[in-house]
Amino acid sequence: MGQQSGATKSSRPHLEQGQRSALSRLTAQLALAVVFSSALGGCSGDARSATPTPAPAAQEGSAAPVAPPVAPPPAPAPVWTESGPLTAEAREILGSVVADPAPPALVLGSHYWVSNESAHDVWRETIGKLGGALAGVGTDQLYLFAGWQELSLLLALDFDAEVVRVHELYGIAFAKAETPEAFIQLWRDAARDAGAWDELLTAADSDEAVRKRHQRTLKVAGTIISARLGQVKRRNASLGIPCFLTDAGQYAKVRTLWQEGRVVAIRGDLTATSAMLTAASAMRKLGVPLRTLYLSNAEKYFDYSPAFRANIIAQPFDEKSLILRTRHSPRMGAVEGDVYHYNTQTGANFVAWMTDSTIQTSFALLKRRVEEKPPGKSRIDTLAAATVAPASPTKP
């Protein structure tokens, strides 16, 4: 242990001297490196090179570069618009409306080629510019309403296939005639000679079977339609009321409905389970309110069945929606110049009656009407309740 300690102590001066020699050599090498680096203009180890070079100052009046803004993705095109050609999706939705089967028999065994109501003008201000959709039975009166209502969709639903074909003939006439005068003249030509439309039908109907059906309908109904249009024109002109047969603007709007595919004519039964329900579904998908439902006097021929109630409840009514109906009843009174009584009811009110009451017929419902002017016109605004029902006999 003593020898080892002594040896360590005796060698310490030699280590310190060696360290000093090595330090001297290192200092000399560093000095040479600095001199060499200065001569070359600096190197990566130079302190000046370690300092970041400042960016050149922007010139006066110049703006700093800005990244271009990112454009937002385009909004998807709406499925439904109030005007213009229909989108492919809208056409597909309207094409989903399903026709009802043919009825066992027609009312009175007759085809109603034209309306037998004369005083539709009493509703002109009521439905004026309501917009939205119109669904209804009948033929010429629907185009009268369309011109006043300024609607965006017309659903012509009638359980008589011949009435549907009359609407198809109307579509052909609207496509050909650019003015109300030309439209009326086309029907006069048909009344004089149904063959006058052969060229039109050939151009419109690529299917020979469809063309022959149209030719048969035109041969039977052309004269009747021409006479009816003349009556409608004369009455409204005498009252100073513009309509699609006298006013170029209204005619153009109605014609455009056909041109843009906004008219759906299909066999539809108010008491069946296909057309009314699928039409309601289509309107809801499109976001189109049903602003007018025209029933004419059809309610006279059936009771308020569960299917009919369901059809009414399903409709996309809003706060502006109206039911239009007529009734031939001496007790109710008729509008001057007509044999029909004219009644209106809000869509919401009718839905309430169909939902909450056990009332069975339109005649019972019309007992709740409020008379309006002119005489022969009324409205229903009485609220329905579950207690509204035919009176039952009570025990003494």
pLDDT tens-digit series, residues 356-388: 888 999 999 999 999 999 999 999 999 876 544
Beta strand pairing status for 153-158 and 133-136? parallel
pLDDT recorded at residue 72: 80
- Residue 390 has what pLDDT? 41
**Residue 387: inside a domain:** no
Distance CA 95, CA 264 (A): 9
Please say if the pLDDT value at position 55 is more than 80: no
pLDDT for res 394 = 32
**Is 248 in contact with 179 (CB distance < 8 Å)?**
yes
pLDDT reading at 17 higher than 60? no
* Percent with pLDDT over 70 in the chain: 81
Q: Which residues, in sequence order, are CB contacts of 48 under 8 Å at separation 6+?
A: 42
Q: Which helix (H) or strand (E) holds 378?
A: strand 377-380
**Is residue 19 very low, low, confident or very high in pLDDT (cuts 50, 70, 90)?**
very low
**At which residue do the structure tokens 């242990």 appear?**
1
pLDDT tens sequence across 144-183: 999 999 999 999 999 999 999 999 999 999 999 999 999 9
The 10 Å Cβ neighbour count of residue 381 is 11
**Per-residue pLDDT tens over the stretch 322-355:** 999 999 999 999 999 999 999 999 999 999 999 9
What is each CA distance from 159 to 100, 107, 121, 271, 362, in whole angstroms?
7, 10, 25, 10, 19
Residues 44-62, mean pLDDT to the nearest whole number: 48
| Total number of domains in the chain | 1
Q: Which two tokens stand for residue 132?
A: 């939205």
| pLDDT class of 34 with cuts at 50, 70, 90 | very low
- pLDDT digit string, tens, across residues 190-242: 999 999 999 999 999 989 999 999 999 999 999 999 999 999 999 999 999 99
Determine the average pLDDT of the residues in 298-302: 95
Q: Which strand (E) or helix (H) includes residue 326?
A: strand 322-327
Assess if residue 306 is contained within a domain. Answer: yes
What pLDDT was estimated at residue 392?
Answer: 37
> Parallel, antiparallel, or unpaired for β 341-346 and 370-372?
unpaired
Does residue 232 fall inside a structural domain? yes
Q: Which domain range does residue 248 map to?
A: 88-380
Distance CA 344, CA 370 (A): 10
pLDDT-derived band at 40 (thresholds 50, 70, 90) equals very low
- The reported pLDDT for the residue numbered 3 is 41
Buried residues in 330-341 as b, exposed as e (16+ CB within 10 A): eebebbeebebb
* pLDDT of 95 above 90: yes
Is 330 a domain residue? yes
What local confidence, expressed as pLDDT, does residue 25 receive? 54
Residue 246 is assigned to a structural domain of this protein: yes
The answer to the question of residue 55 being in a domain is no
Would you call 345 exposed, middle or buried from its count of C-beta atoms within 10 A (0-12, 13-18, 19+)?
Answer: buried
395 has a pLDDT exceeding 50: no
Reported as a single tens digit per residue, the pLDDT across 108-119 is 778 999 999 999
101, 203, 213, 214, 392 from 135: Cα distances, Å: 18, 29, 25, 23, 36
The answer to whether residue 122 is domain-embedded is: yes
- Please give the pLDDT value at position 64: 64
Any domain includes 360: yes
Say if residue 288's pLDDT is above 70: yes
